[in-house]
Structure 1
Amino acid sequence: MTRCFDPTICLRMLLLLLIANLCMGDARGEESPPNIILILTDDQGYQDLGCYGSKTIRTPILDQMAAEGVRLTSFYAQPVCGVSRAALMTGSYPIRVAEPENIKRLHTVPHPEEITLAEVLKDAGYATGMIGKWHLGLDRKDAPGGVLPSTMPNAQGFDYFYGTPRFNGYTVNVDDTAMRSPVMRNQEVVVEAVEDWNDITANYTDEAIRWIKEKRERPFFLYLAHNMPHIPLGASERFRGKSAGGFYGDTIEEIDWSCGEILKTLKELDIDDNTLVVFTSDNGPWVETTRGMKPKAAALIPRDHSGNADPLRGWKMSAWDGGCRVPFIARWPSKIPAGWESDELLSTMDLLPTFANLARTSVPDVTLDGKDATAFLTRQTDESPRDDYLYYSGCMLTGVRAGKWKLVLPRENAPAGLGWWGRMIEAVPETMLFDLDEDPGETTNVAPQHPEIVASLMKRIERAREELGDRFHTGSDVRLFDEGPRTLQAPIKKRKAR
């Protein structure tokens, strides 16, 4: 080895060596945390992708994305839009999340003091952008877009926001109601009232690509939350009327195209290898052909306007798996092995700690329900860090899953305290147990044959009731940032004594 006796030359050589090592580290992707793109659809069913079994909806891009990454078959969100988004953004069961005035709303509104996924990544140096449907804000008529600014994306960790502050509607056609959604850019209303939704997916795609190109030089987090396929539906001329899956299928096929445009952009910018792209849905399909699916009720949603959760039982708002078990695909060419799938449990709550780990930062200093799934998703281990999933309908605990077993608790029809989505919760007369490996449609109660499994799962239920709570009491470890007790937006009225 050549010795260096001149201190100045030695210092220069050391600096050059250090710079070379840093450059080599950057080339290997070791010094730069990954870009993260999270694509969320609205009311998309478990089966509504080709790689999940759809025979009528063509999704070649997402099918290829699954072939190049991982596909999970037991991935859980929550059964309703706002509740699901709260779990995603906070890494917690919504019943644990603090809300303004301690009111547990039917669509969860995280308290401004809650720390979101976007805030975690922003503090780690990420550029943060949110395009699409927010639906986590507190309604305020005199505020821009009708939502309190302190509960909007720009106040919750996103540098940039373009999209709708709430949902796009609750009727089949826009003209069926006086309600009109605005579109906002940050805190400015750029479209006062959307009259049709045909261009929304294409608009979001253009916005997403432009934003990615702007932020390509630094790690970024893009949350692309499509309004589709929530009613009223919309699809551009290129896709409308083209799918064998009807109007609903048109919207999914356009979302598939959108994913392709984003993946193509990543390759063109040469950042594909160091970008994690995740695709999932906020809840199951909104299948309600008649109000509350009652035989003699008024017609509500035509069947070609909603999706399919087969082989699962139920749909959006229901307490069965079809309400909250959703597609999940993740692709990261340099880290996730291609073409593997798993039936291990995972949930939207697990994304916050997972993304925090990838960003090399810490999680909020509060109790989280999410688990870091980095090792699982990159297949360093075949076991998920999540060992159970609690089924909550609002603040009502309806069951638990651990492994292949799902325990369903007895309940009344249209339970009190659930407001408008209680109409989709039917009665269960007794404790039921299902083997989801053999019976994903939850058709055969095997509780009598497995009393030891029932007893074990009931212990998990008891712990959840103590820590998280239920309709009738507040848990010991929930977050309440304002004065006063926890209350329900849809109060439970005391029944008169007979």
Structure 2
Amino acid sequence: MRHIILTTLTLLGLIATLTSVNAQKPNFIVIFADDLGYGDLGCFGNQNIRTPRIDQLAQEGMKFDHFYAQNVCGPSRSALLTGCYPLRNAKKQNKVTTHPFLHSKELTIAEVLKPAGYLSACIGKWDQAGHSQTRFDPDLMPRKQGFDYFFGTPSSNDLTLHLMENETTVSKKADMATCTQLLTDKAIAFIERNQNSPFFLYLAHPMPHVKLDATPRFKGKSSAGLYGDVVEELDFHTGRLIDTLHKLKLSAHTYVIFTSDNGPWYMAKSKFHQKRGEVSHGGSAHPLRGYKVNTWEGGARVPCIVWNPQSVPPGHTNSEIARTLDFLPTFAALAGAPLPQDRIIDGKDITPLIHNTKDATSPSNSFFYYSLTQLMAVRKGDWKLHLPRTTNVAKKWNVYTKDEDILDHSAPLLFNIKTDPSEQSNLASHHPEIVADLTQLANQARADIGDYNRIGSGARFFDPQPKRPDISK
């Protein structure tokens, strides 16, 4: 009997220990704004849009000022979710399109964290199963890609917005004015339901991507037009989510990341947006050059804040290169979840950076700027090389590009990004050795990831159709 009692007590102790350990696993929240520019937040220099709650996150956490996403919506989301450059990821039927059909055999953050006991929710914009509110692939929606709960929209809000809860459409032509509030309500409800379990919350707001709208509390109240109203409302509801973490005593064990999917949208040349009165509905990448869809800095470099009161030192600005690609391996390391060993992951664990470990440096120190399928530029350390090109597969995006930023050039352009973030002074003739070094790095990316005219050796294909039908003749 004594042996049975001791065994029972031992088992109970083990269960209690495991429960305690599980309870201490950190939660992860990624707040992913849509088309929010590098210069649209107060803590990144904006003086016209009031963002006190996000600014407070930066004061209490860490601001990354050399942080990269991709330069357009769908590929940016697949890069974040999988930790891989979009051209490396497998697509359904191997078709590479502007907005991906992310293959079901690709592994998302939700799938990587699940074996470690995490519950995951995708709330907001998905855009990985087809760029349409109605003609999307149901087999590629969030709950088929590792998420336990989904409330949001299949794609972007260009024309209208349908809302789904899991697999059921619950609202057609939803009210954009209340969208930010509603999605935050759903995010808070998910946190409250799962406060006793480690969780991953991916809150992908559809705005400030057009079509814009705001509730009466915010509409017409900013000094930056409707765009400013939308960002100020986004700031307010971000504060509500943080308040919930404090109320539930989850702050110490929750990492919150606030960032954007790409740079701001330039709509002054688009007849479609002119007709809809949306020319002023884009943000600012100041002091960076370029906009969304470009491979100038303003297209892919975005604001990023990492907050965790227990482990992230307050008030620090980190100028090392970091990327949305790095979220997956970083979360896995913090959660004690193994990374997949059957595939290349481009992201790196940046835990030492976000914890401000002494002498921590970027584990990648590089970034490749793709436009659709074409490698346009490469950054290493302080230097960025725009590759020479006569072919430009992204010419269809010129309508969203300032005329002075449309360059097809036969010689490379070299800029020091630290001293010249607006990319004005071409130093290629002064530093041929750096041009040669970055050209070699670009050639390695072409061979591994691919380019508009070649298939990378490390690109993934799971379907029997021709690999890269866009270049298969």
TM-score, normalising length: structure 2? 0.92
CA-to-aligned-CA distance 1:365-394 (integer Å, 9 cap, x gap): 210100011122111243121210001001
Q: Which residue is 2:259 aligned to? A: 280
Aligned residue runs from structure 1 range 127-206, under 5 A? 127-138=119-130, 145-169=134-158, 179-194=159-174, 196-206=175-185
Q: Which residue is 1:176 aligned to? A: none
Q: Which residue is 1:50 aligned to? A: 42
| Structure 2 CA distance for partners of 1:292 and 1:281, relative to 1, 3 Å | farther
Corresponding residue to 2:228 among 227, 244, 249: 249
CA distance in 1, matches of 2:287, 2:139: 41
The reply on whether 1:386 has 2:364 as its aligned counterpart is yes
Corresponding residue to 2:102 among 97, 104, 110: 110
Shift of 1:345: 0.3
Corresponding residue to 1:336 among 312, 316, 320: 312
| Structure 2 CA distance for partners of 1:265 and 1:346, relative to 1, 3 Å | same
CA distance in 1, matches of 2:333, 2:262: 25
Instruction: Indicate the SS of the match to 2:266.
Output: coil
CA-to-aligned-CA distance 1:98-123 (integer Å, 9 cap, x gap): 00111111112210111111111123
Letter in 1 for 2:263: G
Q: Which residue is 1:229 aligned to? A: 208
Q: Which residue is 1:306 aligned to? A: 282
| Structure 2 CA distance for partners of 1:370 and 1:411, relative to 1, 3 Å | same
Corresponding residue to 1:449 among 430, 438, 442: 430
Give the conservation status (yes or no) of the 8 Å contact 1:290–1:301: no
Corresponding residue to 1:374 among 340, 351, 358: 351
Q: Bigger radius of gyration, 1 or 2?
A: 1
Q: Which residue is 1:290 aligned to? A: 269
Shift of 1:31: 6.0
Q: Which residue is 1:347 aligned to? A: 323
* Sequence identity (%): 42
Corresponding residue to 2:237 among 235, 246, 258: 258
Shift of 1:21: 9.0
CA-to-aligned-CA distance 1:344-383 (integer Å, 9 cap, x gap): 0000000000011111111122101000111221112431
Give the conservation status (yes or no) of the 8 Å contact 1:388–1:403: yes
CA distance in 2, matches of 1:402, 1:318: 19
| Structure 2 CA distance for partners of 1:439 and 1:165, relative to 1, 3 Å | same
Q: Which residue is 2:115 aligned to? A: 123
The reply on whether 1:40 has 2:32 as its aligned counterpart is yes
Shift of 1:44: 0.3
RMSD over aligned CA atoms reads: 2.7
TM-score, normalising length: structure 1? 0.88
Query: Paired residues, what number?
Result: 466
Give the conservation status (yes or no) of the 8 Å contact 2:22–2:197: no
Give the conservation status (yes or no) of the 8 Å contact 2:161–2:176: no
The reply on whether 1:397 has 2:375 as its aligned counterpart is yes
Shift of 1:238: 0.6
Q: Which residue is 2:82 aligned to? A: 90
CA distance in 2, matches of 1:30, 1:137: 33
Shift of 1:8: 5.9
Letter in 2 for 1:339: G
Gaps of 5+ in 1: 1-5, 170-178, 494-498
Gaps of 5+ in 2: none
Shift of 1:124: 1.9
Corresponding residue to 2:384 among 386, 406, 422: 406
Instruction: Indicate the SS of the match to 1:485.
Output: coil
Instruction: Indicate the SS of the match to 1:123.
Output: helix
Give the conservation status (yes or no) of the 8 Å contact 2:29–2:201: yes
The reply on whether 1:357 has 2:333 as its aligned counterpart is yes
Instruction: Indicate the SS of the match to 1:326.
Output: coil
Q: Which residue is 1:175 aligned to? A: none
Q: Which residue is 1:174 aligned to? A: none
CA-to-aligned-CA distance 1:1-40 (integer Å, 9 cap, x gap): xxxxx976994898499579949x94xx796210111100
CA distance in 2, matches of 1:420, 1:85: 21
